[in-house]
Structures are given as C-alpha cells and as structure tokens.
Amino acid sequence: MSMKFDAAGMLRRLDYYANTGDGWGVKKPLDPRYKLSNTGEVMFKDGISWADLGQISIASPEIRARVLELLLSSGNDTIGGKPAGEVIK
C-alpha cells in the first residue's frame, strides 16, 4: 500500500519547513536553495489531513475490496471529503 498526497496543494500552505537531510525533526529555516529529493524532508507544523490525500494504492484487488468493505461497514464512506472508492485504487 502506498499513499500519495497533493504536494502542490500542501506546499501552498505557510506552515512547512524543509531540511536538506534527515534532521530528525530539527527545525531549520526553509532555504530556497534546498532541493527536495529523497534525501531531504519537508515537515508541516500543523500536520497533514486526510483532505491532503490524493490516492491510496493497494496492489491486491482482494485487499482493496476488503479495505473498502471495512470502511463502508463502519460508516466511513469518504476520505478527506472524497468517496473512498475514488481515493483507494
């Protein structure tokens, strides 16, 4: 399973900061010279929400069906305001 977030929308927020490497949560000022890569990190002071989630990918159709079944049976038919079936692929 992998989760994909709306990066463009999230980076429009004003509560994020970035480090060029994994600083273990150490807050450093965002430097525009930093290049985001798989060795850096972007953190959000106020956290992220389900509304920022664009897609959940589940490779197995059987597991996807089971996850949707569990969500729907517990009354959770949306994720971040979007239908669960559209978010979970």
pLDDT by 10s per residue, the chain, length 89: 898 888 888 878 888 776 666 555 555 555 555 554 555 667 788 888 888 888 999 999 999 999 999 999 999 999 988 999 999 99
Question: What domain range is 13 assigned to?
Answer: 2-87
The angle formed by the CA atoms of residues 60, 65 and 71, to the nearest 5 degrees, is 125
Q: What is the CA radius of gyration of the chain?
A: 16
Q: Please state the domain count of the chain.
A: 1
